[in-house]
Structure 1
């Protein structure tokens, strides 16, 4: 009987390895759940990836974004900070951490993250729009307009950039420019511009 034990142990080890899904499968499953808005379930899959590959930067970032969507901003920031420590050139982690800090109204720290991310990827239109939100939060209306304008240069059909640019223009007394931007956003299909057009652009 004792001679069979090593063989049984080997068999058990083989079965346990076989039963464990590869990290890639959990990663793809997590991404699918994230896209479906099932953030809690996505996090469970990302946790499984990180058990197998604790230094997987993209998974850490994706889990952080999921946590942000669930309004757990501080836990999200922890994940992004770990990702940045592992790969200081991964721009997405800076942008994501910047957004979580923005959500906590930590605008100054958020701005630093967006600045760093844009140093690494200077042609990311969405990042300019988000940095514009941060600058607007800091009441730097000229800076916000500059960022939205840069996003529009990179993507002339970026309806949210036109829509967002209207507010700082209006705050700086450029009603005509604001109404023009809101009209452009509406023309590109953004219905959120309607209330502003009706209220300020009669």
Structure 2
């Protein structure tokens, strides 16, 4: 199963009055570097923010995501855990930590993080999709289908959820349903679905 990547938030967030402009400048710069794929450089900027604001949950989370992109999953998890300690209701930290745990195949622990993230933000369709991947990893095919279906209910054109839902359907013997989902994913622009259609649906 392929690795999945968390995303960072590019919104401007509030800093305390002390060194506010400097921290904000580094935060913006870090996000720009992340967006350009310069993850190591982004981490350096986030480090500067955290020297000024050591408990700034969005920066800790964004630094963790950059580390995840560098496949430093355990270091990423440490940052997400610090972010949660700083702000126990910061949804992105739970969801991002869940993704890093998924990439380490620590599915049971990842499931707990996704459960918490979805509890905090029950409208996040990508969270349901990613929890579906975790449940698929746990071979809970029915649970995975339920999560992908919820993601589709929240975002009817979310091609990744159709694509992902095909696999547990196929594993449960629903070839027709699986092929239908892969066909839908392909029609929405997901070219990878064509491989499954050719292999399993001829």
TM-superposition CA deviations, 1:140-164 (whole Å, max 9, x none): 0000000000000000000000000
TM-score for both structures, normalised by structure 1: 0.89
Q: For residue 155 of structure 1, what is the aligned residue in structure 2?
A: 155
Q: For residue 10 of structure 1, what is the aligned residue in structure 2?
A: none
* Aligned-pair CA distance for 1:114: 0.2
TM-superposition CA deviations, 1:13-33 (whole Å, max 9, x none): xxxxx9xx7011110000011
In 2, Cα distance between the equivalents of 1:49 and 1:85?
Answer: 17
* Aligned-pair CA distance for 1:36: 1.0
* Aligned-pair CA distance for 1:129: 0.5
- For the pair 1:194 / 2:191, whether they are aligned, the reply is no
> Superposed, which structure 2 residues align to 1:16-95 within 5 Å?
22-95=22-95
- For the pair 1:133 / 2:133, whether they are aligned, the reply is yes
Any unmatched runs of 5+ in structure 1?
1-17
Q: For residue 113 of structure 2, what is the aligned residue in structure 1?
A: 113
- Greater helix percent: which structure? 1
Q: CA RMSD in A?
A: 1.0
Deviation >2 Å, runs of 4+: none
* Aligned-pair CA distance for 1:94: 0.3
Structure with larger RCO (C-alpha < 8 A, sep 6+): 2
DSSP-derived class of the 1:83 partner: helix
In 2, Cα distance between the equivalents of 1:127 and 1:63?
Answer: 20
TM-score for both structures, normalised by structure 2: 0.89
TM-superposition CA deviations, 1:78-113 (whole Å, max 9, x none): 000010011111110000000111111100000000
In 2, Cα distance between the equivalents of 1:79 and 1:196?
Answer: 37
Larger radius of gyration: 1
DSSP-derived class of the 2:168 partner: helix
Any unmatched runs of 5+ in structure 2?
1-18
